[in-house]
Amino acid sequence: MRKIFLLYINEMTKILRKVSTLVLLCVLILGCVFIPVIIRVSDYFIGITGDEYMTSAEDDRNIVVAQIKRIETELENIGTDGSPNQRRIELLDSKAESEFELERLNLLIASGYTDQTVVNFVVEAIGTLPQYRRTIRELEKIPSDLRSVEQDEYLSFCKESIDRIYAFPQNHDFESFVSMHKEKLRYDLSSIQGDRDRLFEVLSSKMDLMYKADPSGGTDGTVDYGHLRESLDYVTELKDSLDSGYSYVYDFSGERLVPLSPKEQKNLSDQIAIEEHKVISGVFVNKDNSVMAGLSNFFSVSFGKFIIAVMIIVLAGSAVSQEIATGSIKSLIIAPVRRWKIFTAKILSLLSIMVGSLLILSFLYRLMSLVVFGPDSMGDYMYINNGNVATLPYFVYSFLSVLIGSVDLFVFLLFAFMLSTVLRNTALSVALSLASYLFTGNIAQLFALLGIRKRWMDFVPFLNFDLHSDLFPFADNMLPDMIRQMQMATTASYRPGLLFSSVYLLVLISCLLYISFDSFTRRDIK
């Protein structure tokens, strides 16, 4: 053991003194530092997430007023030259619409919401004002003796709702808004076909959750109402998918509905539990900074992993062949140690460099995102433990996730090392390993895109590298919507399963190790 340790120290000295290692480590660190900074700076200048282009309510009102004037002028003209009746009706309709919009804007301005970037339930309620006015106008066109009981009820509901909307800026009664919203939902759903009760259940539970998460409806400034809605939209989407028993799959043949497996159903209900927990406990990831932090983390990790892959492949691909080429292997062979110890020390040193750089990566990208985007830009990892939501601190998660997500790196390390040992040709080993690393990175997505899902795919090595999705099924729930959708488009849909993949990888790793071991310990060095 002691000899292996001493050899290991020598191997580490050699690796850490290599110019290529040092340069790539610097690139890794610079990348982790500058990617978040670049994203932050571009947000400042371009506005990735900003809403600088929102006009004020007053500006909008001037436009609407001008519009109404124009319509009135045209109406007067029509009155004098007796144009067709159809045009007159159209003009009256758009005049009514513009007046509803004017009423909305006036109420906004009167309530002090001139700045349209503010989002809360009052603003949302005022936003629905034109809808109610429109409905009332439509219903009132029907003579009162011809209206059905339901239509009468709906008409009075709409009128009552408008009164409530006018009261909201003063009373901030979110509960009243929730009940009003649910009632409207019931009326709206009555016109559609299908399972109304189920849809009502899904949609109204969203309103209940909103009330639970923030009884002020966003008016007291503690919770971002817009982001809360986004989170809840996601929950609703998940619930809808779970209730319907189908999920959407995208591939070459287009968009298809695929029935959910029991495992997927379990995963969906777990995700719903997590999302609801986040909403109720007030842990939102959908903050403006979260989108940038998510983008930055995504790019930092992909970039960092690529740099580490290049570094590891270069090191492993030259580990034996270069020593033989330069003759420095001589001082290892003459040393009083069995060759398997040299082999072990070499593998261990490469492994340490890999894990070490992954540690640097996972620590650094998280640290930078804390510094640049603030501590609340990313939440901890949440998962389901015995039916309850549990959390894993982000630093622990980021390391484990980067490590488990790098199983492919380990396989390629061994592959490059094997080539280096067997072929004894550095250029060939490095080139072959790098080429296959770059090629196989996209193969899973290619299969997914072509819509191939066959049993033999279980035995394609590259499809077994993705243990991350199996071990951290709720990783996507940490991401803001925008990033989540970006990632959904690039995730392979076919996975052979955790147990199969683990066994497969073990066998693959053993084979690679055995071939290199046999070649290294038994072959002559001429």
Partner 1 sequence: MSEEKVAMRIQNATKAFGKNIAVNHVSFDLHAGEVFGFLGPNGAGKSTLIKMIMGFLSMDEGSIEINGFDRKKEYERAMSGLGGIVENPEMYRDFSGITNLTMYARIHENVPRERIDEVIRTVGMQDRAKDKVKKYSLGMKQRIGLAQAIVHKPAVLVLDEPTNGLDPVGIKDLRDILRKLAHEQGVAVMVSSHILSEMQMMCDRVGIINKGRLLDIKLVDELKSLAVGQYKFVVSSPKTAIESLGSAFDGKISDVTEESFGICAEKTEVPGIIRTLTASGVDIFAVSRTEGTLEDAYMQITGGGITVA
**Cβ(339)–Cβ(4) under 8 Å?**
no
Q: Does 525 bind partner 1 (CB under 8 A)?
A: yes
**Cβ(252)–Cβ(446) under 8 Å?**
no
Q: Does 485 bind partner 1 (CB under 8 A)?
A: no
Q: Could you give the string, one character per residue 309-328, with x where binding to partner 1 holds by CB under 8 A and - elsewhere?
A: -----------------xxx
| Interacting span for partner 1 (CB under 8 A) from 241-249, 334-342, 439-447, 452-460 | 334-342
Q: Does 12 bind partner 1 (CB under 8 A)?
A: no
| Interacting span for partner 1 (CB under 8 A) from 9-17, 21-29, 118-126, 144-152 | 9-17
Q: Does 186 bind partner 1 (CB under 8 A)?
A: no
Among positions 62-101, residues that touch partner 1 (CB under 8 A) are none
Q: How far is the CB of 16 from partner 1 (least distance, A)?
A: 12
| Candidate list 69, 198, 263, 338; residue touching partner 1; CB under 8 A | 338
Report d(CA 218, CA 226) in Å as an integer: 9
Q: Does 146 bind partner 1 (CB under 8 A)?
A: no
**Cβ(197)–Cβ(207) under 8 Å?**
no
| Interacting span for partner 1 (CB under 8 A) from 28-36, 333-341, 384-392, 500-508 | 333-341
Q: Does 17 bind partner 1 (CB under 8 A)?
A: yes
Q: How far is the CB of 320 from partner 1 (least distance, A)?
A: 14
Q: How far is the CB of 356 from partner 1 (least distance, A)?
A: 20
Let me know if 5 is exposed, middle or buried by CB neighbors in 10 A (0-12, 13-18, 19+).
Answer: exposed
| Interacting span for partner 1 (CB under 8 A) from 229-237, 244-252, 375-383, 517-525 | 517-525
Q: Does 48 bind partner 1 (CB under 8 A)?
A: no
3-state SS class at 60: helix
Q: Does 7 bind partner 1 (CB under 8 A)?
A: yes
In the chain, the N- to C-terminal Cα span, in Å, equals 28
Which alpha helices (H) appear in 424-523, and where do they start and end? 426-440, 443-450, 468-471, 481-488, 498-522
Encoding tokens for residue 41? Answer: 């700076």
Q: Which of 515, 402, 398, 414 is nearest to 461 (CA)?
A: 414
Q: Does 292 bind partner 1 (CB under 8 A)?
A: no
Q: Does 331 bind partner 1 (CB under 8 A)?
A: yes
CA distances from 492 to 302, 441, 444, 449 (A): 16, 11, 6, 8
| Candidate list 192, 334, 489, 499; residue touching partner 1; CB under 8 A | 334
Q: Does 20 bind partner 1 (CB under 8 A)?
A: no
- Smaller CB separation from partner 1, 75 or 335: 335
| Candidate list 1, 2, 53, 192; residue touching partner 1; CB under 8 A | 2
**Cβ(239)–Cβ(205) under 8 Å?**
yes
| Candidate list 22, 330, 446, 452; residue touching partner 1; CB under 8 A | 330
Encoding tokens for residue 188? Answer: 């709206």
Q: Does 139 bind partner 1 (CB under 8 A)?
A: no
Q: Does 14 bind partner 1 (CB under 8 A)?
A: yes
Q: How far is the CB of 442 from partner 1 (least distance, A)?
A: 36
Residue with tokens 């379990």: 266
Encoding tokens for residue 213? Answer: 């998460």
Q: How far is the CB of 338 from partner 1 (least distance, A)?
A: 6
Q: Does 9 bind partner 1 (CB under 8 A)?
A: yes
| Candidate list 18, 147, 196, 277; residue touching partner 1; CB under 8 A | 18
| Candidate list 81, 145, 163, 524; residue touching partner 1; CB under 8 A | 524
Q: How far is the CB of 439 from partner 1 (least distance, A)?
A: 32
Q: Which of 277, 236, 245 is nearest to 264 (CA)?
A: 245
Q: Does 22 bind partner 1 (CB under 8 A)?
A: no
Ordered DSSP codes for 114-135: -STT--SHHHHHHHTHHHHHHH
Q: What's the helix, strand, coil split of the chain in %, to 5?
A: 75, 5, 20
Q: Does 1 bind partner 1 (CB under 8 A)?
A: no
Q: How far is the CB of 337 from partner 1 (least distance, A)?
A: 6
| Candidate list 91, 96, 102, 337; residue touching partner 1; CB under 8 A | 337
Q: Which of 260, 297, 266, 276 is nearest to 373 (CA)?
A: 297
Report d(CA 349, CA 117) in Å as an integer: 55
Ordered DSSP codes for 17-46: T-HHHHHHHHHHHHHHHHHHHHHHHHHHHT
| Candidate list 89, 142, 258, 333; residue touching partner 1; CB under 8 A | 333
CA distances from 128 to 131, 162, 173, 221 (A): 5, 9, 16, 22
- Smaller CB separation from partner 1, 437 or 517: 517
Q: Does 52 bind partner 1 (CB under 8 A)?
A: no
How large is the angle between the packed helices 288-318 and 426-440, nearest 10 degrees?
A: 150
- Compute, in degrees rounded to 10, the torsion defined by CA atoms 491, 497, 500, 501: 20
User: Which residues form the interface with partner 1 (CB under 8 A)?
Assistant: 2-3, 6-7, 9-10, 13-14, 17-19, 326-328, 330-331, 333-338, 522, 524-526
